[in-house]
A = this chain, B = another copy of it.
Amino acid sequence: MNQSIKHIGVFTSGGDSPGMNAVLYAIAKAAEANGIKATGIRKGYEGLIDGDFMSLETHQLQKLVHKGGTILKTARSKRFMELEGRKKALQTLKINNIDALIAIGGDGTFRGLLAFSEICDIPFIGIPGTIDNDISGTDYTLGFDSAVNTAIENIDKIRDTAESHNRVFVIELMGRDSGYIAIHSGLVVGADAILIPESGRDFIYLLDKVKSYDSEDAFLIVVSEGDEIGAELLASKINEVNSSVDLRITRLGHVQRGGNPSALDRMLGIRFGVAAVEQLLNGNKNKMVGLLNNELYLTPFEEVVKQHQVNDELQKLLELFGK
C-alpha cells in the first residue's frame, strides 16, 4: 500500500455523463474508509489550475448518487494544453498537498494527464466517463447505459406517433465517431433500419427496403450522428425512391447526456470509484481502470485509444435486425 498518499484530488473532464456523481460518492467513501482526504476539483483542468476546490462529503454525496451530470462541473481547458498551464496546476497541487489525482473523462482527458506526468510525479488514475462507449480497455464506459435508456424511452414514444400515422421516422442519435449508442438503441426498439459509421453498406439495403414500404405501419430508422449520410440527405434519398412516404426527422440531441443515471451506470460509477482509490493505494499510476469481462482491468494511459469497432456479434445482429 502506498502510504504516502494522504489526499486525493478528483475532477471530471470532457463531456459530462450520467454516473459521474456516483463515482464521487464512491471515492469519498473509499477515501474515508482508508483514512484519506478527498477533494473535488471543479471544472476539470481549469479548476486544477485555479485551485477551484470543493469538499467531498459522503453524507452529501450519498444523496446525489442518482443525480445526472457532475456536481464538480466539467470544462475543456485551453490553458492546460500549454506547459505554462500545467506548471500552474502542479503548483496548485503542491500548495494544497494533493498527492494523487483521479480524473473521470475520455481519451482526451487521459492524454492531458500523460502530458502532465512529464512534469508532475504524483500518481494519476483515470476513469472512463463518456456516453459513447468508444474507449479501449473497458467493455462499458460510464454513462453509455443511461444514454441508451434515455434514447430508447424517447424512441418508444416516437413509435406511438409513428404507428398512429404510418410514418417513416429518421431518428438521429449521438455518437460522433461511434455507432454504439445507435446500434444498441436501434436493435432494442425494433428499428427497421440502423445506420452507423462502422458499417458502410446498409444504406443501399435501406433504400431497397423503403422502396417496397407500403405505408401500412411505422418504419423507424435509427442513424448515428457519425454516419456520413446524415439525416437530411437520407430523408431526401428516401423520398426519391418512394415518394409516398410521410417522413419526419428527430434529433434527440443532448437529452442523451443527462438524466438520472441507470442502475448499471450508478453501479459502474461505484465500482470505478472504489477501484480508482484502491489502485492508487496499491501504488499504481497513470492507468485507466476499466471493466473487461466483468473484471476490473488497468490500461496505461498511453495505450488508451478511441475504439471504433463494433464487434462481430453486434455486426451479425445488425445484419439480422438492422436492415
Contact = CB atoms under 8 A, between A and B. Distances in A.
A233 interface: no
A226 B229 CA distance: 29
B157 A321 contact: no
How many copies of the chain does the oligomer comprise? 4
Interface residues of A, number: 82
A65 B189 contact: yes
A106 to B, nearest CB: 14
A237 to B, nearest CB: 20
A11 interface: no
A164 B70 contact: yes
Interface stretch (A107-115, A146-154, A195-203, A204-212): A146-154
Interface string A1-38: 00000000000100010101010011001100100000
A29 B320 contact: yes
Contacts of A120: none
6 contacts: A63-B159, A145-B263, A157-B254, A158-B255, A251-B253, A262-B263
Given A74-B164, A162-B254, A274-B320, 16 more contacts: A16-B160, A29-B321, A30-B320, A59-B217, A61-B190, A66-B159, A73-B165, A148-B263, A149-B262, A152-B266, A158-B258, A169-B254, A184-B267, A188-B267, A250-B251, A274-B317
